[in-house]
Amino acid sequence: MFSLDWIYYAISWILLTWHSAWDAIGVPIEAVIGTNWSWILAIVFLVVTVRVILFPVFVKQIKSQRAMQALQPKVKELQEKHKGDRETLQKEMMELYRKEKANPLMGCLPMFLQIPVFLGLFHTLKRLTPENTQKTLYGWTVQQFESASNAKLFSAPISGRFGSTTEQLAGLGANTGTVKIVAGILVCIMIATTYLTSRQMILKTGWAEDPQQRMVQRLMLYGIPVSLLVSGSIFPIGVIIYWVTNNLFTLGQQQWVLRKFPPLVPPKGAAKTNGQPVAKTGGLLGRKTAQPVAKAPAAAPKVAGPKPGAKPVNPKKSRPAKRQG
C-alpha cells in the first residue's frame, strides 16, 4: 500500500521550521488575545511556502487558459461541423488541443498539486490531541507536540472542529460554544473566499465554449463552495486557517496576473445595455460596467444639385386649360 508518510514529514518540517523562525524572532509562544500567534503564523507561512513553490505551475495555468481562449473560435467551428456526432467531435477537439499544445485540464493542476499538502496538514493537525502517545512521529519533539496541541485561535484549539463532541473538546480544554463560533465564522469565510477566487477568474476570462471546460468552471464556481458546507464541519480549525489563507493568496495572485497579462479574448456573453454588449470591468464582484458608446445620429441624405446647363424640371404637371363654352 502506498504510504503518505513522506508528505507528513515534509509538512511537519515546514511547519516546525516556520514555528522555530517566529520563536527566534520573538513572537511569544504563550497565548496573546487567546491566540498562540507563533503557530498561527507557521500555518500562514506554510501556505506562502507552498504557493511560492507552485508559482511556475500557476504561470503555466494562465498560459494554458490563454491558449484555450484563442482556440474558442475553432472549437465553435468544430461543434457546428460535428453537431450530433459527439465521438467525432471529441476526437477532433483532442487533436486540436494536441496540435496547439493546449491542455483543458491545466486550469485545475495547481489545485490538484495542493491536495497532498492539504491532506498532510489535515492528518498532522488531527493527531494533535493530548491523549496521543505517539508524540515524536514525523520529526516532532515532545515539547513541540505539546505546544502545538495546546495552541489556540481566540481560545479555540487549532485541532478542534465545528463537529467535535463535547468530550473531545473537554480533552483539549476548550469551551464548546467558543469552538463552534470560531469554526463557524472561519467556515463561512472559507466558503466565501473559495467562491470569489473562481468568480474572479471567470469574470476576467469569460465562460468557455468547450462543454468540458464549462463544466469544470461550474464545478469550481458552485460545486466546491456548496460541498464545504458539509466538509467544513470536519476540518480542524488549523486546516481552515490554511484554506482561507490560501484563498486570499490566490485572490491577490490572480489579480496581479490578470492585470499584467489581460485576457486575449473579451468575455463571452457580456452584459448588455440597450442592446449593446458591455464588458464587466469593475472589481471582484463585477458590479460596474463600461457604458456603451452612444451611436451618432444619422446624417441627413445629401441631395444632388442640378448639373450646369440642365433644364429645370417641374415635378408638377400643368393642368390643361378649361375650354370656354
SS (H, E, C) the chain: CCCCHHHHHHHHHHHHHHHHHHHHHCCCCCCECCECHHHHHHHHHHHHHHHHHHHHHHHHHHHHHHHHHHCHHHHHHHHHHCCCCHHHHHHHHHHHHHHHCCCHHHHHHHHHHHHHHHHHHHHHHHCCCCCCCCCCHHHCCHHHHHHHHCCEECCEECCCCCCCCHHHHHHCCCCHHHHHHHHHHHHHHHHHHHHHHHHHHHHHHCCCCCHHHHHHHHHHHHHHHHHHHHHHHHCCHHHHHHHHHHHHHHHHHHHHHHHHCCCCCCCCCCEEECCEEECECCCCCCCCECCCCCCCCCCCCCCCCCCCCCCCCCCCCCCCCCCCC
Output the pLDDT for position 179.
94
Domain boundaries, the chain: 10-260
Range picked from 95-104, 148-157, 303-312 for highest mean pLDDT: 148-157
pLDDT digits (tens, 9 = 90+) for 203-224: 766 776 667 778 878 888 888 8
Q: Residue 13 has what pLDDT?
A: 95
Higher local confidence (pLDDT), 164 or 103: 164
Q: Given a cut of 90, is residue 265 above it in pLDDT?
A: no
pLDDT higher at 133 or 301 = 133
pLDDT in tens, 50-101: 989 888 887 777 777 777 777 778 888 887 888 877 888 888 888 888 787 6
Per-residue pLDDT for 267 more than 70? no
Q: Is the pTM of this model over 0.85?
A: no
Convert the pLDDT of each residue in 17-43 to its tens digit. 999 999 999 998 888 999 999 999 999
Q: What is the pLDDT of residue 168?
A: 85
Is the pLDDT at 287 greater than 90, yes or no?
no
